[in-house]
Homo-oligomer: A and B are copies of this chain.
Amino acid sequence: MEPHEPDLTAVPVTAVLAALADDVRLQMVRALAESGEAACGTLDFGVSKATRSHHLRVLREAGLTRTRAAGTSRYVRLRRDELDRLYPGLLDAVLTPRPPA
C-alpha cells in the first residue's frame, strides 16, 4: 500500500493552496503546527471520522503532512521544514487565525 506522500516539488502550488483553502483542514494544520504531532482522532473539528480521514488524505497527498502508524493509531505531523524551504512565508502567513495588524 502506498501512503501517497509525494515529493513536495512534484505537487503543484495550486494543490497545496487548495489543501489549505478549507476551514477544517486549516484548523488541522494549525493544530499540528502547535502540537507537533497528533493522532488522527485528536483532530476532531465537528466532522465525522470519515470526513476527518478524507481531509487528512487531502493534506497528505498535497505534501503537507506525513503519517506514521503506531498500534491502532496514526500520527500525523506537518512537513514544516520542507514547506518552509519551498514556500517560505506561506505557513507563517496562514497559521495565525488573526494576522497581525
A89 cross-chain contacts in B, Cβ below 8 A: 88-90, 92-93
Identical chains bound together, number: 2
A88 cross-chain contacts in B, Cβ below 8 A: 89, 92-93
Which of A14-22, A34-42, A45-53 forms contacts with chain B?
A14-22
**Residues of chain A having any CB pair with chain B under 8 Å:** 12-15, 17-18, 20-23, 26, 86-90, 92-94, 99
B13 and A94 contacting across the interface, CB-CB below 8 Å: yes
A22 cross-chain contacts in B, Cβ below 8 A: 14
Q: Of all chain B residues, which has the CB nearest A15?
A: B21
Instruction: Give, as a whole number of angstroms, the nearest-CB distance from A19 to chain B.
Output: 8
Return the 10 tightest CB-CB contacts between A and B, nearest first. A89-B89, A17-B21, A18-B21, A90-B93, A87-B93, A17-B20, A21-B21, A89-B93, A17-B17, A14-B21
